[in-house]
Amino acid sequence: MQNDVIDERLLEVSVNIKSWGGVKRDPSKERAIREASGATRQVGHFDTYLVSKDTLAEIKTIDGAWRNRHTALTLPWSDTTRVVTVAGLKLWSSEMRRFAELRNDAVDRFCTNWPALVEQAKVELNGEFNADNYPSVAEVRARFVAETDYFAVRRGKHLGSSQLVNVIGDMVDSRAQEIEDRAKERLSDAVTELVTRIKDKVSHFSERMRAYEEVPNPEFGNKKRAQPTVVKGKFKTNTIDNLRDLVEVLPGLNIYDDPTITEVLADIGNELTGAGTAEQYTQELREDDALRAAVADKADAILDKLAAF
Compute and round to an integer the Cα radius of gyration of the chain: 27
Q: Would you place residue 156 in the very low, low, confident or very high pLDDT band (cuts 50, 70, 90)?
A: very low
d(CA 49, CA 125): 9
- How many secondary structure helices (H) and strands (E) does the chain include? 12, 8
Residue 113: predicted pLDDT: 96
159-201 pLDDT, tens digit per residue, is 445 554 454 455 545 555 676 778 888 999 999 999 999 999 9
The residue with greater pLDDT, 182 or 66, is 66
pLDDT (tens digit, 9 = 90+) per residue, 188-199?
Answer: 999 999 999 999
Find the mean pLDDT for residues 127-147. 92
| Single-letter residue type at 152 | A
3-state secondary structure of 12: strand
Confidence of residue 299 (pLDDT cuts 50, 70, 90): very high
- The DSSP bridge partners found for residue 16 are 147
Q: 127 CB contacts (<8 Å, ≥6 apart)? A: none
| Contacts for 18 with CB less than 8 Å, ≥ 6 apart | 143, 144, 145, 146
